[in-house]
Chains A and B, each alone.
Chain A
């Protein structure tokens, strides 16, 4: 059951993007002349070892960071030279983030963490509905410290989808989770992808996860070294690592 997305409109157009950082006393090149495009409604997995530049790429796609050189377009919008206010607006309207370390605010309950985001937009999902969608209907009043890692990550996903973003960006969403919990989280992401017709870009170092993608990019040392579509797109349940 392979979806053909080649006819869909291009959502992200990335051309010759380079990104370097100053870390302490060192200059680190995180991305080196990267070009790619992401089409609407596809589930893209970016594979790579730690330090391959995949997180940097995701951050640039999400408007959390800007490239040192090259261009990034989201639909017709040029993100390359966008100012802080424009990027803020872009993130608010279009992007949902899921991070490896959940990054949910410890002083807020599950429901409040979701509300924190729905406060921001005009026509959000009901926060309760978002939590029900990720299977946390009975955990809404719990604080992060009262939830397991998988549950916290599902709160993060609910938080990301509650504002009905066009694109869901997931940075190692299973990185801190055990296998069983990881699969559950991937099922939620897959479900969101299908039911909300959201574009999903998911980065991971776990090659097995690539099997659930429409398309896979493999990165090494800041460059894309391989691109392929898995012959058979698997369900998260069918994955193993």
Chain B
């Protein structure tokens, strides 16, 4: 088949305007790649999580008790909806890692002696199952083994029931209960100093004198059965055995974190890329509109020959199709590449054994259709404007624009400007729509840069608030069970301890109307100095003497506020309920909590100054002595050191977040480049005649460049405030979208962000200017004068 001549024209002109085409293609590709990458990552995580949970038979309900007999198994199994029950022994241990001075901790969970548990099955990464009669064999988590370089055959020393015992590693494994290995009671991931381990049931029971007994149960429900009804039955049944209340899967820490992440990703994966794609599409629309306008004379000729409006429109839609096709191919390739990288990164963080990379077809198709539609609309709008003119009129150059004396002339400013400056200013002012559109596209590109950098800086802000305003202690210790106030003196007597701030925390259900939320009530000292309650900006918050203060996120989610009363139901044998007044809400960053004054909590609990743990300030010079001493205190369930908490926070969250944010900044820069380049390039083709005429009149290439580039610079500078404003608005909107009860994201906008983003846009403008400047030097004056296209 012979190619229609119009198609030849299309391809040849696409090749001719390749610079501009490449810029447009890059912008669309950035939009699509970003959209596809984040959507695929989201979809892959959802599928991988589901596949893993299915394969490992992840539990539906967990419950911890102090000690309960095996005989209860039948009673639990007979509860409506329960399909299987795993009874286990779970113990916190202090471990000693060779070469590590500071104490490390871990959790050992029992598994059947000779087989996988029915619920929460392990995935062995290496090694073998435990020998049924072995008393010292453990399976350790893959993350812990990797972080410390442990292999099968290595031993770890643990303090079990007050005695050091060497444990031999026989396998490494992943568990659906530990997709994220958070140190209990904190939000830290510290694979080097926190061990998740599994041991044969008989061996572990023997070590803890739990033969015939258990302290942890994992339960599977039949599909469709009521989780809350089962939890109520379990709580009643297990209350006499020291149950702290059963929790549903949604409250299981590892699951909650992963699910929150997926939920946040579903929003960021939708909104940020949609903003990107939207900007790309807008740019594409504008670019084609303006490109087609420069083809005014050719369109008139095609009409004169008898080409129909529809044929001519299709021809220009062809340019849109080429741009979108190019952008799609590049965008999909980039999107898949980045998507795979992102998924791999997530899998380093979340330990899922199954990776199902998935690129939803619908996402891809929708991105293509949106781009194509926008491009075609841009092309058609421009063609329509031209074909509506009689061809004879379209063939003539446009009538001179109306230039009347405006504010500029009346103000007498023109006398100050030379003719060149006047031309620049008039060109901008007299075509306000076109100038406005250029300005807006540049502003949009800038706003994306601000948003991208906001994400990058936000995590620095979190780190700063958390460790410089909130958790300023050197160590946080938590006891296994509450201690009397005397323990404060014991802690103060430890080597190196300079200050002690005790705290009391109890688990409660917060009840407001029909809504119930399981969380903790905490009470610190009256004037805390080490560990403070602050808002998201790091400003210390006052805890009222009367009533309670609540996290704003919880108050809003549960629909109460200052002046309302709520109920706190203690999660223990007695299940006492207190009615308290809410006297403050606090914009805190992590977790959802109820804060009370110490005195009030003691009164409610009828206890005299019991403590759950304490925050310590330690003399840096005596840190090693402190470590040695603390390793000998088996009554502590956890010790969190500030230094290593910060490091782990930085290593796990920050580096992880940084990478995805770099992508965002990369794409934002790409779009900024495409926008600025296109604006300048189109201005050059629109004004080629005028500029060549000036050259003929004797203007130097440099002077002519100043006119064109000066206009671009004016527009770019004018776009800065608007772009910064939009960027700030995007950044203010984003945290509210991705807030969860584990984490809220502070809004903060640094001068640095605004400065760097503006500088990047200006740099792009200057580089583009240099490129356009070369083109102006090559303007063909004679050709321009000979034809009037």
The interface of chain A, by Cβ under 8 A from chain B, is: 21, 23-25, 55-56, 59, 62, 64-66, 84-85, 88-93, 95, 97, 99, 101-103, 105, 107-108, 112, 115-117, 119-121, 145, 149, 159, 176
Contacts and interface: CB of A to CB of B under 8 A. Distances in A.
Interface string B10-34: 0011001000000000000000000
Contacts of B515: none
A115 B9 CA distance: 11
B306 A115 contact: no
B301 interface: yes
Interface stretch (B394-402, B454-462, B625-633): B394-402
Contacts of A91: 303-306
B605 interface: no
B392 A64 contact: yes
Contact of B393 (A21, A95, A102, A107): A21
Contacts of B302: 116
A118 to B, nearest CB: 8
Contacts of A64: 303-304, 390-392, 395
B395 to A, nearest CB: 7
20 contacts: A24-B400, A24-B402, A59-B391, A64-B391, A65-B390, A84-B309, A84-B387, A85-B308, A91-B305, A91-B306, A101-B789, A103-B787, A107-B12, A108-B8, A108-B9, A116-B5, A119-B4, A119-B6, A120-B305, A121-B306
Contact of B306 (A55, A112, A120, A145): A120
B306 A108 contact: no
Contacts of B789: 101, 103
B216 to A, nearest CB: 76
Contacts of A95: 306
A97 B304 contact: yes
A103 B309 CA distance: 19
Given A25-B402, A65-B393, A116-B9, A105 B301 contact: yes
A115 B402 CA distance: 40
* Residue of B13, B306, B309, B399 with most chain A CB atoms under a 10 A cut-off: B306
**A85, A116, A117, A159 interface centre (most CB from chain B within 10 Å):** A116
Interface residues of B, number: 34
B305 A117 contact: yes
Nearest to B306: A92
B788 interface: yes
B297 interface: yes
A103 B301 contact: yes
A149 B13 CA distance: 22
A103 B297 contact: yes
B307 interface: yes
Contact of A119 (B5, B13, B387, B393): B5
A21 B788 CA distance: 20
B786 interface: yes
B298 interface: yes
Interface in B309-343: 309
Contacts of A24: 399-402
Interface in B382-417: 387, 390-393, 395, 399-402
A101 B787 contact: yes
B318 to A, nearest CB: 13
B392 A59 contact: yes
A159 B304 CA distance: 12
A88 B312 CA distance: 12
Contacts of A149: 786
A65 B391 CA distance: 7
A120 B304 CA distance: 12
A66 B783 CA distance: 32
A92 B5 contact: no
Given A62-B304, A64-B304, A103-B301, A56 B392 contact: yes
Contact of A23 (B4, B16, B399): B399
Nearest to A28: B399
Contacts of A65: 390-393
B377 to A, nearest CB: 21
B13 A107 contact: yes
**Most chain A beta-carbon contacts within 10 A, residue among B6, B13, B391, B399:** B391
Nearest to B15: A107
A115 B5 CA distance: 6
B478 to A, nearest CB: 76
Interface string B494-505: 000000000000
A210 B103 CA distance: 109
A59 B391 CA distance: 9
Interface string B761-789: 00000000000000000000001001111
Contacts of B307: 88, 92, 120
Contact of A116 (B6, B309, B391, B401): B6
Nearest to A108: B9
Contacts of A99: 301, 395
Top 5 A-B pairs ranked by shortest CB distance? Answer: A92-B306, A59-B392, A64-B392, A91-B306, A107-B12
B385 to A, nearest CB: 14
Nearest to B4: A119
Contacts of A101: 786-789
A149 to B, nearest CB: 7
A103 B304 CA distance: 11
Contacts of A21: 393
B392 A89 contact: no
A99 B304 CA distance: 11
Contacts of A121: 306
Nearest to A109: B8
Nearest to A115: B5
Contacts of A55: 392
B297 to A, nearest CB: 7
Nearest to A84: B309
A88 B391 CA distance: 10
Contacts of A92: 305-307
Q: Kindly name the residue among A85, A102, A112, A120 whose own CB sees the greatest number of chain B CB atoms within 10 A.
A: A120
B309 to A, nearest CB: 7
A89 B786 CA distance: 31
Given A55-B392, A65-B391, 16 more contacts: A56-B392, A59-B390, A64-B304, A88-B303, A88-B307, A88-B308, A89-B306, A92-B305, A95-B306, A97-B304, A99-B301, A101-B787, A108-B5, A108-B8, A117-B305, A120-B307
